[in-house]
Amino acid sequence: MNDGPSDDGVAAAGTSPRPQLCLTVGVTGHRPARLGSENLELLQHLVGTLLSGLADAVQAVGQEHGEAFSDQPLCLRLVTGLAEGADTLVAKAAAERGWRIDACLPFPRGTYLEDFSEAEAKETFARLLDSATAVFELPGERANEDAAYEAAGRVMLEQADIVLALWDGEPARGRGGTAQIVAEAIGHQVPVIRLDTHAIEPPMLYWSGLNDLDFDRPTIDSVARAEAGTVLAGVAAALCAPPDNDVDRRMRARFLQERDHKRTPAWPYPLLLSAARVRRFRRADLRPPRPEQCALYLLQSFNPFGKAQGAYAGALKEKLVTRFGMADAAATYFAQIFRSGFIVNFGFAVLAVLLATGGLLFPSAKLFLIATELAIIILILVNTRVGSRTGWHERWMDYRHLAEQLRVLSVTGLLGDLYLRHGDAGESGSIPGWVRWLSRATARELGLPSVSADQRYLSRVRVVAQTMIQDQIEYHSRNAGAMRKLDHRLHKAGEYLFGGTIVACATWIALKLGGFDVSHGKGVNVTALVTAVTAVLPAMGAALYGIRMQGDFAGIADRSTVTVKRLQRLQRALEADGPDFDLLSARLRRLREIALTDVAHWRTTYQARPLTLPG
């Protein structure tokens, strides 16, 4: 039995960031008494045909989009409770076709064995359980067995791309029954393929994705439906294929080709922090974090699990953590590049004004000054063009979004929650299509951890969550303080610059009214000097204001402060909780909500602030 992920280092360098092509089917259905035997052979045939059809449809996705996926063989996975009846029927058909079986049991396996009364059924259960790649044992209790079955059904829904339902159409006879699971799947926009166990008809697909009219919470009555055999190819493509628009293709290709940045020329942003006395300039500012460093940071969060092995642990370490390291390091690199880029633009704009006015003070050098000003203007245009063409802004935002997706997935996946749905692209601040595709593909590679989710395991998961929460509290607290200090000091500097302009103007007026020769008095052309000063100082003040607005430092500080308060409330609740599976699952969903809401708000703000010419 595995306890969780390994912590003995990160994946070897060169691991492909391309995901393995995977599809997961969940199963729900009746026990033998309600399933009946009169149509059993036909049901078995239909199930086998459906599984083969899905395999062919997913294989076709891989052939069409081979550049998006790794060279690993196609992974087809069935998540099942292995109960007698529908679960066992589908598991046998999947095993015969070489599918990976992941078992999600409502009770520890010894307790669950009591569900099987016949020796043959027990033997079949034991055989399928032994062949399973992962066995996730929920801590259900017989005293509340309906809740245990319901919990197992919901874990299956969190794992499944498609649900195969062997259902007679009748209402559920207790919590966690087939009708309830089907209704919840449809409500959460999970495609459901229904096989009617009484009146054998062509399998029907129930899915809101078949209809352009997107219901927020579709029901069995309102959901679109079609004969499954006619739409399997389209459904597989919708679930597994990467987004095919130009923007998503370009951004995905950039990430897959992203290199390890060992140095960065982007020193203006950390220099600004130092000049504003927010923090000292450090040598590390010129050495962006390496992907393996970022990966190791996340991996060390799982130290409470010890030296465990297994498919889930391997996928976590070699795939999720590695991609997180790539995304986190690249996001940090491009954030500094982008911020330094707009600081350079505003700084060069001030320098251009200084050069333009320098001709008033040094007429003999006017040709040199004008030529230098021209070069500065060209540099501004080149900097803006390079930043736009190479996507500093977009790469920063998309990679940060991907990193946060994977960060929260690393902990929610420990309880089987893969977050395969929700938060699609399309609205400002929402998850970009390629980011959502890659995070989903990574989640499919994880599957279920092979553990007994007992109190010991839940306590360890809680430690991982608490560590992540504390790290984020400390980060956002530091970030809020630094950004608020930077914004305040830039604001004060701007006030001083405009104040200096007032002083210069007032001085010139006083000298003029006092009879001083402001053109040639004492060999000084005061008018030219004041003209230069009153042009440059407001330009510097405007540049500082532009940097503040472009960087949105005050907004960042406010959002980080709100995030800290939310995380602290969650931290207190988590500390007061006992090791309860449902409660801990709810706390982890809240952690995901807080983290992704923060990054969505941040993205909404920065979406409208690409690198542009200073105005």
CATH code, domain carrying 59: 3.40.50.450
Give how far Cα 318 sits from Cα of 17, 76, 201, 438, 462, Å.
10, 19, 44, 15, 23
Does one domain contain both 228 and 308? no
Provide CB contacts within 8 A for 405, sequence distance 6+: 419, 431, 435, 436, 439, 596
Q: What's the domain count of the chain? A: 2
Whether residue 253 lies inside any domain: the answer is no
pLDDT at 2 over 60: no
Whether residue 615 lies inside any domain: the answer is no
Does one domain contain both 83 and 211? yes
Domain limit, last residue, from 221, 240, 259: 240
Whether residue 262 lies inside any domain: the answer is no
Whether residue 263 lies inside any domain: the answer is no
Does one domain contain both 407 and 332? yes
Whether residue 122 lies inside any domain: the answer is yes
pLDDT at position 14: 45
pLDDT at 18 over 80: yes
Whether residue 15 lies inside any domain: the answer is no
Whether residue 58 lies inside any domain: the answer is yes
pLDDT at position 369: 93
| pLDDT tens digits for range 133-188 | 999 999 999 999 999 999 999 999 999 999 999 998 888 777 888 999 999 999 99
pLDDT at position 562: 96
pLDDT at 346 over 50: yes
Does one domain contain both 232 and 290? no
Provide CB contacts within 8 A for 250, sequence distance 6+: 391
Report the chain's mean pLDDT, rounded to a whole number: 89
Domain limit, last residue, from 176, 208, 240: 240
Which pTM was predicted? Answer: 0.90
Does one domain contain both 353 and 204? no
Residue 427, burial from CB neighbour count under 10 angstroms (0-12, 13-18, 19+): exposed
Domain limit, last residue, from 210, 240, 270: 240
Does one domain contain both 213 and 286? no
Helix/strand/coil for 101:
strand
Does one domain contain both 192 and 291? no
Q: Name the band, by pLDDT with cuts 50, 70 and 90, for residue 428.
A: very low
Does one domain contain both 358 and 217? no
| pLDDT tens digits for range 293-330 | 999 988 888 776 655 546 788 889 889 999 999 999 99
Q: What percent of the chain clears pLDDT 70, i.e. is strictly above it?
A: 93
pLDDT at position 580: 93
Residue 92 to residue 126: CA distance in whole angstroms: 13
Does one domain contain both 587 and 492? yes
pLDDT at position 3: 45
Does one domain contain both 426 and 498? yes
Q: Which domain holds residue 45?
A: 23-240
Amino acid identity, residue 276? A
Whether residue 179 lies inside any domain: the answer is yes
Supply φ then ψ for residue 233, to 5 degrees: -60, -45
Does one domain contain both 181 and 311? no
CA angle in degrees (0–180, nearest 5) for 88-91-92: 85
Q: Name the band, by pLDDT with cuts 50, 70 and 90, for residue 222.
A: confident
Does one domain contain both 149 and 294? no
